[in-house]
Amino acid sequence: MAGPNHVLPTDRRARFASPLGVEDFVKRQSVVEFSKEALLKLGPVAERMAELEGLDGHAQAIRIRREALAKKKPPKKRGRK
């Protein structure tokens, strides 16, 4: 059986809002890539910004990657594959 979506906005909002669609359930993600050179150059700035914003884990991740690149060996992968 097929038909239109019947989950409509309530409280008279259907006049200007659409019903639920597939895009309402999709998780969007952003991915940022840095070259080795860019990370070595901009890493200290990004690390400091992360610290100022209280994102200590992000700052530590940047620091670990920069130190690994400075020693010319890839960082150890952790977590899920």
Number of domains in the chain: 1
More confident residue, 47 or 25: 47
Whole-number Cα distances in Å, 59 to 32, 34, 37, 66 = 15, 15, 18, 11
The answer to whether residue 63 sits within a structural domain is yes
Q: Which domain holds residue 59?
A: 35-74
Give the pLDDT of residue 21.
77
The answer to whether residue 18 sits within a structural domain is no
Q: How confident is the model at residue 63 (pLDDT cuts 50, 70, 90)?
A: very high
CA dihedral 38, 44, 47, 52 (to 10 degrees): -130
The answer to whether residue 51 sits within a structural domain is yes
Answer whether residue 4 shows pLDDT above 70. Answer: no
The answer to whether residue 61 sits within a structural domain is yes
